[in-house]
Amino acid sequence: MKVLKKGISICLAVLFVISLFSICVSAKADTQNVKINLYSDKVIKVNVPSTLRGLKFYVKSNSKSVVAGLFNEKGVCGYSLMADKRLYVDMIADKKSAKPVTVTLKYTKNGKKILFKKYKVTVAPMKKLKFPDWNVNKGSTNNYIIENPYCDYYNFKMSDKSKLEIDAPFYNGGYKYDGLVRKNNNFEYLAKGKSTGNVKVDVYLSNRKIKVGSFNVAIGDFKTQVRDFSKNTTLKYSQYGSNAYMSKSHIDIEDILNNKKSKAKYSVVPSDTNVVDFLSTGELYATGIGTTSCSVYEKIGKTKTLVDKFNVSVGKAKMNYVAEENYYWYDDGIFGKGEYVEYLNLTDNATLEMEDTIKTCLINNSLTGSHFKKSQYTITYKSDNPKIATVSKNGVVTAKAEGETDIIYSIKFSDKSVYKNICTVSVSNEW
């Protein structure tokens, strides 16, 4: 019996040690080591468990050496965001740091902030780059995409400004650089050739005046061609709204070509207009789902020649894509644009009706021509803090106590796609 008891005691001790080890490993697993090059950034994808979706997440850095922010797949950014399936932590190494910097990601539940992830960030030396040379036609413009892993614009110093002009940068996805959220490390520049010759361009980080490299630009007479990344263009098509208002449903010919001639006119001829069609405005629109080839023609005077070809694939856009595009076109503060907050007066028992505005903006928008039947969507609501404000199943928000909370609304479409967003409500006795 003593032997049996002794054996049980040993087993329990071993189990305790294993459990303790597991807890330690689990605790360590919540801390991630991150390395960032100086003046660069790093984006970390965070998968959010279903139990935490809809809660508000906050990111914070304990040092000015590393700036931390959040963004989601809808392009919404900030230091605090409501969580969907995924969030992205964006860290920028703004200064040198001898010691690792701690960045924490927390969420709020029942008014309390709870630690979710911790990052130990090491700032490494600057990343070195080599820039490709450019060719630009005299009297015309070219679009060039070059790598920029830094958290600054590039500033160009040209050996001869009379021959070349370079415009301010854009992301090649169409987003202007905003100093924090980066969807990729590519910048797009517009180079204008003024006169023939060669120009040396030195590249600096604009805010720091640090040289990061140089390249050469030749201005002359080069053949017009489709840009490499446009050789296989992808678009989206939706039957529930005008594709003229859907950003991924059309593309401008100016964004497809390089080495355009200053006196030339360009047109695109699709082999199948049931997939895409070219309009006199210079844009190629999705007209249906499928794949087609397109021929680009250049006309100078009365001479028209084939200059290049490219392929276009058009996929079916999910219903929530239309709602996302409608959000862009409908400028109403109820949807949390900018710093907008809905203010409710507690003494007046104030209420806010959300549903009609949501339907006008996101469901059946007269501007974009979006149209969904009642059977194709359902809208649900949730208050992040019901003690501050409650929300009914019909989207009526009622003030309860002083403070601020988010009303989370979700539109589930019949194709199983979901659109989510928030309305920030501030309750006070002062108004």
Tens digit of each residue's pLDDT (9 = 90 or more) over 244-295: 889 899 999 888 888 888 788 999 999 999 999 998 888 999 999 999 999 9
Model pLDDT, residue 333 = 58
Residue bearing the bigger pLDDT, 66 or 180: 66
Range of weakest confidence among 18-22, 259-263, 267-271, 426-430: 18-22
E strand spans, 221-362: 225-226, 232-237, 250-252, 257-258, 265-270, 276-278, 283-286, 290-300, 303-316, 342-345, 351-353
**Bridge partners, 353 (sequence order):** 396
- What mean pLDDT comes out for the span 302-324? 95
- What mean pLDDT comes out for the span 342-362? 86
Model pLDDT, residue 339 = 55
Instruction: Please check whether residue 60 is in contact with residue 101, taking contact to mean a CB–CB distance below 8 angstroms.
Output: no
Query: Can you tell me the distance from the alpha carbon of 388 to that of 69, in angstroms, rounded to the nearest whole number?
Result: 26
Query: Can you tell me the distance from the alpha carbon of 43 to that of 36, in angstroms, rounded to the nearest whole number?
Result: 10
Model pLDDT, residue 384 = 87
Q: What are phi and psi of 73, to 5 degrees?
A: -75, -10
Q: Is residue 3 predicted with pLDDT exceeding 80?
A: no
Q: Is residue 17 predicted with pLDDT exceeding 80?
A: no
Residue 89, judged by CB atoms within 10 A of its CB (0-12, 13-18, 19+), counts as: buried
> Token digits for 3?
């032997």
Neighbours of 107 (CB within 10 A): 20
DSSP assignment of 307-346: EEEEEEEEEEPPHHHHHHHHHHH---GGG--TT--EEEEG
Instruction: Please check whether residue 81 is in contact with residue 89, taking contact to mean a CB–CB distance below 8 angstroms.
Output: no
For residue 49, is it left (φ>0), alpha (ψ between -120 and 50) or beta?
A: beta
Model pLDDT, residue 428 = 87
The amino acid present at 244, given as its one-letter code, is A
Report pLDDT digits (tens) over 68-123. 999 887 678 888 988 888 899 999 898 898 899 999 999 999 889 999 999 999 99
Model pLDDT, residue 69 = 92
Model pLDDT, residue 332 = 59
Model pLDDT, residue 381 = 95
Query: Can you tell me the distance from the alpha carbon of 353 to that of 374, in angstroms, rounded to the nearest whole number?
Result: 19
- What mean pLDDT comes out for the span 10-17? 42
Model pLDDT, residue 12 = 44
Numbers of helices and strands, H then E, in the chain: 3, 33
- What mean pLDDT comes out for the span 193-204? 94
Q: CB within 8 A of 296, min separation 6: which ones?
A: 224, 226, 253, 256, 257, 266, 267, 268, 306, 307, 308, 309, 310
Instruction: Please check whether residue 407 is in contact with residue 382, taking contact to mean a CB–CB distance below 8 angstroms.
Output: yes
Query: Can you tell me the distance from the alpha carbon of 127 to that of 149, in angstroms, rounded to the nearest whole number?
Result: 8
Q: Is residue 383 predicted with pLDDT exceeding 70?
A: yes
- What mean pLDDT comes out for the span 6-23? 41
Q: What is residue 247's three-state secondary structure?
A: helix
Q: Is residue 170 predicted with pLDDT exceeding 70?
A: no
Residue bearing the bigger pLDDT, 98 or 415: 415
Q: Is residue 176 predicted with pLDDT exceeding 70?
A: no
C-alpha atoms less than 13 angstroms from C-alpha of 272 in its C-beta half-sphere: 15
Q: What is residue 110's three-state secondary structure?
A: coil
Distances (CA, A) of 22 to 16, 34, 76: 10, 23, 37
Model pLDDT, residue 267 = 94
Model pLDDT, residue 423 = 85
Query: Can you tell me the distance from the alpha carbon of 239 to that of 248, in angstroms, rounded to the nearest whole number?
Result: 14
Of 289, 297, 276, which Cα lies nearest the Cα of 317? Answer: 289
Range of weakest confidence among 236-240, 327-331, 354-358: 327-331
Of 75, 18, 29, 28, which Cα lies nearest the Cα of 421? Answer: 75
- What mean pLDDT comes out for the span 11-19? 41
Model pLDDT, residue 21 = 37
Model pLDDT, residue 336 = 59
- What mean pLDDT comes out for the span 158-163? 94
> Token digits for 171?
């992301």
Residue 2's H or E segment, with its range, is: helix 2-29
Model pLDDT, residue 340 = 67
- What mean pLDDT comes out for the span 307-319? 96
* Terminal-residue alpha carbon distance, the chain: 78
Q: CB within 8 A of 301, min separation 6: which ones?
A: 263
Model pLDDT, residue 424 = 84
- What mean pLDDT comes out for the span 172-184? 39
Model pLDDT, residue 165 = 92
For the chain, give the mean pLDDT. 84
Range of weakest confidence among 117-121, 179-183, 228-232, 236-240: 179-183
Confidence band of 11 (pLDDT split at 50, 70, 90) = very low
Q: How far is CA 424 from the centre of its chain?
A: 21
